[in-house]
Amino acid sequence: MIVTSVPDALPAGLTARQPTESDHPRVLALMDTWWGGLGGDDGARQRALLVPRLFFQHFTVGSSVVEDGDGKLVAFLVGFVSPSRPEVGYIHFVGVDPDLRGRGLGRTLYHRFFAYAAAHGATTVACLTGPDNRDSIAFHTRMGFDIEPGDKVLDGVETHSDYDGPGLDRVTFSRPL
């Protein structure tokens, strides 16, 4: 089914907009806190490396940042339609303030991206996460993503060994639009 409906509304008092380059340091400043120190110092470095400034310079059209009424950053989604595989919308990185989780904000960002990707010709959305990020795995499966077969199973989850380099295993997902 192609997603063409109006995306879910944001919770009251929040607004979404396309990110700008000045949002990059704001996002990096929140990541360790929002991920609860997952993976320690190495995890923090990996997350920072996964969200380089170029996403806030060159890949902003399908992305969103969400702020509260005081301008505080409370969520973001970095996503784009693949230039090499235009049938695929790719969600690269997403974060939601832990104090606002469970209120539908992540779901709303995903639905907004689904609508954007479908409107730009994508028929599938892809994304990934680390095998130790159980909350992310659970969220994606609730959102209708399928875990793609990997080359090994870790704690019951199909995983791709060394997907992003030596020792950087990933769980990959896909979801038809």
Q: How far apart are CA 163 and CA 21, in angstroms?
A: 28
Is a pLDDT exceeding 50 seen at residue 82?
yes
Which amino acid would we find at residue 14? L
Task: Give residue 44's pLDDT band: very low, low, confident or very high (50, 70, 90).
Answer: confident
Give the residue numbers spanning the domain of 106: 1-77+88-121
Count: domains in the chain: 2
Is the residue at 82 inside a domain?
no
Task: Give residue 5's pLDDT band: very low, low, confident or very high (50, 70, 90).
Answer: very low
Do 98 and 134 lie in one domain? The reply is no
Is the residue at 54 inside a domain?
yes
Do 97 and 134 lie in one domain? The reply is no
Do 163 and 112 lie in one domain? The reply is no
Is a pLDDT exceeding 80 seen at residue 155?
yes
Do 170 and 152 meet the contact criterion of CB atoms below 8 Å apart?
Answer: no
Q: How far apart are CA 17 and CA 65, in angstroms?
A: 6
The pLDDT of residue 129? 95
Task: Give residue 7's pLDDT band: very low, low, confident or very high (50, 70, 90).
Answer: low
The pLDDT of residue 53? 95
